[in-house]
Amino acid sequence: MASNDFRRHAPCSSPTIVFKKMERLIRQLLQTVAKLGQSDQAALLLIQSTETGLLLAGLLDEKITFPKKTISLKNTPIETFLKKNAHIDSYPCRLVDRYPFPCEDNGAVALQCLCVPLYNTAGRLQAVLLLARAGQDITAFYQLHIFERLQTLLAVTLETALENATLAKQTTVDSLTGLHSHTYFEKRLQEEFARCQRHGCTVSLLLIDIDHFQDIVIKYGAQNSRLVLLAVARVVMGAIRQEIDIPCRYNHSQVALLLPNTPIDGSFVVAERIRKRCEMLELPLANHGKIKITVSIGAAHNIEEIHDEESQSELENIMQNEAPFSESNQDQLSEVIESAEITKEDILYRAEVMLAAANQAGFNRTMVWW
C-alpha cells in the first residue's frame, strides 16, 4: 500500500470512517479555495520528498477526484518552496492529467497557476494548493489577502488530518509488507460477517502460505526471508480489486485475503491467479542468486456445510484416509455436504483445513472447501 493512501486507516474507529473524514475535509478544502480563487481547476499536492510529490486530490468540472499520481518536483517552482519559506505566488501553468501544476515556461500561456504553500508547525512544507486562473498576474486579484489569512488555518487543519492518518496506519498496517495487520483482519472479518447476516451476501477467505518458509529463513537468513514475504505481498496486492478486497498479514509466513461479495468459484480464480504469479517469480537474494517461490492456498466461504449422521460418518472415514485431500476424495467430500450460513470461526477453520490439505498434497496448489 502506498504510504499516502489513507483510505483504510483509522486511529480509533472504523478505518473506512477515517478516510471518509479525510476525503470530506479535502473536498471542502478544494471547493472552498476554488470558489475564493474563482477557479474551476484546483489540486492538492502532498510533498513526499525533495524530489517527488503526490497529486492527492483535484477539482475539475466541479468534481473532486483522488488521482494519487506521483509527480517529479525537479526543475519546477515547487523546488523554490522547498528551499525557502516562499509565500503565495503565481507561475505559468501546465496541466497534469488536466490538473494545474506550476512550470518555469516564460512563453505566452493562457493560464497561470496560483501556488499556496502549506507549512506544518515545524516549518516544513507539507503540501501546496494549486489553482488555475486566466491572466498574466493573478497574485493581484482581490481575494489574495483572504488566502494569506486562511493559509495558516488550512495548513494546521491538513497537518492534523495527516497525523491522524499516519497514526491510523501504524495501528492497522503491517510495517514490513504494507498489508493490513492481523488485528485489522479480525475486525474486518467480524464486520463482513455482520454485513452478510444483514444483507444475505457472500464473503470468501483465502489463506496464503509461503511454501517451506522456515527452510528459507534457515538457509537464506532473516533479511532474505523478509524479501520473500514482501514479494508475495506485492503479488497479492497486484492480483486483487483495490479498495474492495482486504489483504492482511495473518502470521509470519501467511497472508489472509478477505473477498467481499465473492462466491467460492470466484475466490478460486483469485487464488489461482496469485499462486501462478508467485510460481513465476525468480527473486534475487543477496549472496544467494535467484530462488523460486511457491505458495499453497486454502479457500473457504460463508456457506455452512451440514452433515446428517450418515454423512458425518462417511466424512470421518474420508478424513481418516491417509490421503483425505486428494482430488478423488475432494469429490467425495462434496457429496456429503449441504448448505447454510456459518460463523466467522467456521470459515477460518475451513480455510486452515484446506491450507493443510494443500500442504499435504505436495504444496504449490489451491484447495477449496466447496
Q: pLDDT tens digits for the chain (370 residues)?
A: 333 333 333 333 344 555 567 788 888 888 888 888 888 899 999 999 989 999 999 999 889 999 889 999 988 989 878 877 778 888 888 888 889 999 887 565 678 888 999 988 888 899 999 999 886 555 555 567 778 878 888 888 888 877 777 666 667 888 889 899 998 999 999 999 999 888 888 999 999 999 999 999 999 998 899 999 999 999 999 999 988 999 999 998 999 999 999 999 999 999 999 999 999 999 998 777 889 999 999 999 997 655 455 555 655 565 566 455 555 555 555 454 444 568 899 999 999 999 999 999 999 999 999 8
Which residue(s) pair with 204 in the sheet? Answer: 259, 301
The closest alpha carbon to 207, from 148, 267, 263, 155, belongs to 267
Return the pLDDT at 5. Answer: 36
State if pTM tops 0.75.
no
Q: What is the pLDDT of residue 4?
A: 37
Q: Residue 199's pLDDT is what?
A: 86
- Give the Cα separation of 128 and 29 in Å (integer): 12
> How many of the other CB atoms lie within 10 Å of CB of 171?
14
CB 311 within 8 A of CB 353: no
Do 48 and 104 touch, CB atoms closer than 8 A?
A: no
Q: For residues 209 and 253, is the Cβ–Cβ distance under 8 A?
A: yes
Structural domains of the chain ordered from first start: 15-171 (3.30.450.40), 182-303+341-368 (3.30.70.270)
Cell of 290: 535467484
Q: Is 337 helix (H, G, I), strand (E, B) or coil?
A: coil
- Among residues 294, 305, 301, which one has the least CA distance to residue 266? 301
End-to-end CA gap in the chain: 31
Whole-number pLDDT of residue 229:
95
What cell numbers appear for 348 in the block? 477460518
Grid cell, residue 260, equals: 467481499
State which amino acid sits at residue 164.
N
* 124: nearest Cα among 22, 26, 49, 25: 49
Neighbours of 137 (CB within 10 A): 8
Mark 37-46 as b/e (b = at least 16 C-beta within 10 Å). bebebbbbbb
Q: How much is the pLDDT for 107?
A: 62
Predicted pLDDT of residue 338 = 46
Q: What's the pLDDT at 266? A: 95
- As beta bridge partners, residue 282 has 292
C-alpha cell at 101: 501544476
